[in-house]
Amino acid sequence: MDEMNSEADFNGVGHSGFNDELMSLRVCLVNFQEDTDTRSSVLEDEVEEILLPDGNKELKVETNFFGMLPNEIITKILSYLTLRELCHFVSPICKQWHIYAMNPLLWQRLPFEEIYNVSPENLVTLIQSKCTLLKELNLKCQSELSLYECQIIAQSCPMLETLSLAFCTQVNKEIIKSFVAYCPKLQNLNIEGCKVYDDSLFLLQNIPLKRLNVSHCTHLSDDGLVFIGKHCPHIRDLNFDGVQWIT
């Protein structure tokens, strides 16, 4: 008996105490496993909810590779399309592609072939709403534009650098004055075939003019062209073809 008690004392507990400790250990292990399974299940649910928020547990693969591109790359790709192609084939696809197509960076040029048959009212609306960064505008033969409409266009194009008013029969000093006032970066001006006089050229000293086309402007004289030569220090190209009496 003493040996048994000594053995129990050596092990630190008696048989009944040992069984109690073993049972407690098993309970702890079971609780730990249940808690681990619960945390694992919650974690899996959270991951699925993050990756598949619509509740669809099937694996989804992103296939909109175009939408994954940086905006700069998308803009560069779309820049190879004409404005009409942007409107007809890109904009109608979806809301996001409409945003891509209407990016002002893609509307920095309005060449003649894009707008020659656009009415004055629609042209003004287009420039006001889409062309806030417009740098090049060709209004060749747009003789139906009124002074007021030209003023609105000029006010809407503070970044304009190149402007053609060639063969616009309504162009006069007031219209040129509007573009000079509201387009301080204007460098290239084409007023070929317009009924302008020398006093219209006097306004051009207020812009960094580099190229001027006044060919077939039959109301000009030596005074206007001499003024351009003296007061427009950035001028590099001056075309007065068809003005035969210039000396």
**Residue 157 and residue 217: Cα distance in Å, rounded?**
25
On the question of pLDDT at 12 being above 70, the answer is: no
What's the mean pLDDT when you consider all of the chain? 82
pTM (predicted TM-score): 0.71
**Residue 240 and residue 192: Cα distance in Å, rounded?**
9
Model pLDDT for residues 78-103, shown as the tens digit of each residue: 999 999 999 999 999 899 999 999 99
Tokens of 84: 């009409």
Model pLDDT for residues 142-159, shown as the tens digit of each residue: 999 999 999 999 999 999
Q: Are 195 and 171 in contact (CB under 8 A)?
A: yes
* DSSP string for 84-138: HHIIIIITTS-HHHHHHHT-GGG-SEE-HHHHTT--HHHHHHHHHHH-TT--EEE
Number of Cβ within a 10 Å radius of residue 143? 14
